Structure 1
Amino acid sequence: MKLKKGIPVIDQGDRLGFWGGKFGGNFVPETLKKPIEDLEILFNKLKKDRNFIKERDKYFKNWVGSPTRFIKLENLTEYVGGAQIWSKVVSDANGGAHKIYNATVHCLLAKRSGKKVICGDTGAGYAGKMLSMSAKKFGLKCKIFMGAKDIQRQQPNVRAMKKNGAEVIPVYSGSQTLVDAVSECMRYWVANCDKVAMCVGSTVGPAVFVRICGWSTSQISRELKTQLVDEFGSVPKKLKLYNCVGGGSSSFGF
């Protein structure tokens, strides 16, 4: 896929939500086409709305804790030799992970759409933990679908979700892990999409969720650009960026 200049990456897709003709799109049941279309319209409007962006930035600063630190790894730089090695410490964010950016934006969107309940899925528990925190912050009821085996393995995050008032719903079908939790969460949303918002925790699912996630976690790169200029006077020409990829939520924003 050839990127077009002057257009944000999240807006590079075609009218059907495909990037490069292969990736993206909306493979969903008929009952979800209207809710997804409504979410797409709402998001396209609000991501250009100065008041909404101001509200987002307020919560990112005063609640999430932006900007997170940008620090030089002096010992590693000395050990390896050559280039300076720096780290963007996104784990400084409220809750300990980048997932908080996406969860915060989804809750703000839910409030704007008049929804009182938000649902989501989680595997290791971080996406669920962040969503439960955000839902509590914005006065939303929260339902988290989680595989029964993952619940046994990730008790600290399960306790955190429950402490934040979320209902953690165990999924016993299939492998009893994330893939089955995603399926059950989607089934719940299909049956309740008129009154429930759904938060997808990563760059997966219908195209609009990928775009919302990328738009939310791009806070990481917005901060980094400013911090690079503050530290070096400009963005270094020989700069190399490294990021781990699982679902893609941090790497897309980065």
Structure 2
Amino acid sequence: MTRDPAALSRTELRRYGRQLLLPEFADSQERLKAAHVLVIGAGGLGCPVISYLAGAGAGFLRIADGDTVSLSNLHRQTLYTTADVGRSKAQAAAARAQQVNPYVGVEAAPALSPETAPALLEGVDLVIDASDNFTARYLVHDACTAAGLPWVWGAAGGFEGMVSVFGPDFGLRDVFATPDGAESCDDIGVVGPLLGVVGSVMALEALKILTGQADVLSGRLWTYDALSARVRIVRLGKTISAGT
């Protein structure tokens, strides 16, 4: 990140007081306030990411999503209410993030595409890939690789989820060369709290990166089986099955 850290007000110091008790955050909150983050996807994974990054004081969130809220989203996409059905997810999520923390700058943006990618990535320090299909995920890989940016990636379906940190020299295409075996939530379903678990891990990895912590999931894949409550960490190499 190239921006100078911004000073914290007294109100912000009180707001972030509990995390400032942590040695890892004590000297990093101003750095976090200076960070610009692009969140791609404001669905089941994007909702906890947006909520926790806003709450933690990430300085600026750009939320990219071209979808609208539907009734079937509400069991897992926790930023939205029944009154939001039919509303732009990006706009609804941005409004909710501002309610969570008015000290965070938030921007609703269109979905990622080859045409929108340059503007979406402009001025960004970190990308969060909370998209729900491999077409979008590969586009994130290509855009972040070209821009030399790191990104946090997550996926979930059924009762299984996974998270990793990519870029700029090793990314999703290096691990999942093809989307063979990947199925969407529309096809196989998903249990709502799973998205909260996976999205929270994504938010944690993002906060660790933004505050300069060394031990992030770069080169490793965190996997979670909600039925057995089993967690595994897998060392990543080239090309494995896409799974969920």
User: What is the TM-score when the length of structure 2 is the normalising length?
Assistant: 0.32
Q: Higher strand fraction: Structure 1 or Structure 2?
A: 2
Q: Higher helix fraction: Structure 1 or Structure 2?
A: 1
Choose 1 or 2 for highest CA Rg. Answer: 1
User: What is the TM-score when the length of structure 1 is the normalising length?
Assistant: 0.31
